[in-house]
Amino acid sequence: EAQVTQNPRYLITVTGKKLTVTCSQNMNHEYMSWYRQDPGLGLRQIYYSMNVEVTDKGDVPEGYKVSRKEKRNFPLILESPSPNQTSLYFCASRGTLRETGNTIYFGEGSWLTVV
């Protein structure tokens, strides 16, 4: 089954304590990205990666890091989380326009609370 899997699904952490949200996809997609979703603001892209070792900033990259060492994995790193990073996070991957019409497949989401 085609899947984007992210962990943890729920996390409460304290300000300044580094955390990593993992993301893995089993569709051999080259493109992966991270979004955050906040009430009234919709989905906003944090970072994206067009392929292994290629990453770029989205609309709201401040306070986040990513890495793409393998095609299937795209972890999101919060080096020093702050309360304004409390949000619902989605990892996503995408095939090519020819294969899937650039359809995006989303993970189930990770609820992150920073206190």
Instruction: List residues near other proteins by CB under 8 A.
Output: 4, 31, 33, 40-43, 45, 48, 50, 58, 88, 90, 92, 94, 101-109, 111
Q: From the CB of 42, what's the least distance to other proteins, in Å? A: 4
Q: Are 50 and 39 in contact (CB under 8 A)?
A: no
d(CA 89, CA 84): 13
Q: Find the distance separating the first CA and the last CA of the chain, reported in whole Å.
A: 36
Instruction: Return the number of the residue (58 or 63) whose C-beta is nearest other proteins.
Output: 58
Q: Are 32 and 25 in contact (CB under 8 A)?
A: yes
What does DSSP assign to residue 83? G
We find the least distance from the C-beta atom of residue 7 to other proteins, in angstroms, to be 14
Nearer to other proteins, 15 or 88 (CB): 88
Least distance (Å) between residue 80 CB and other proteins: 27
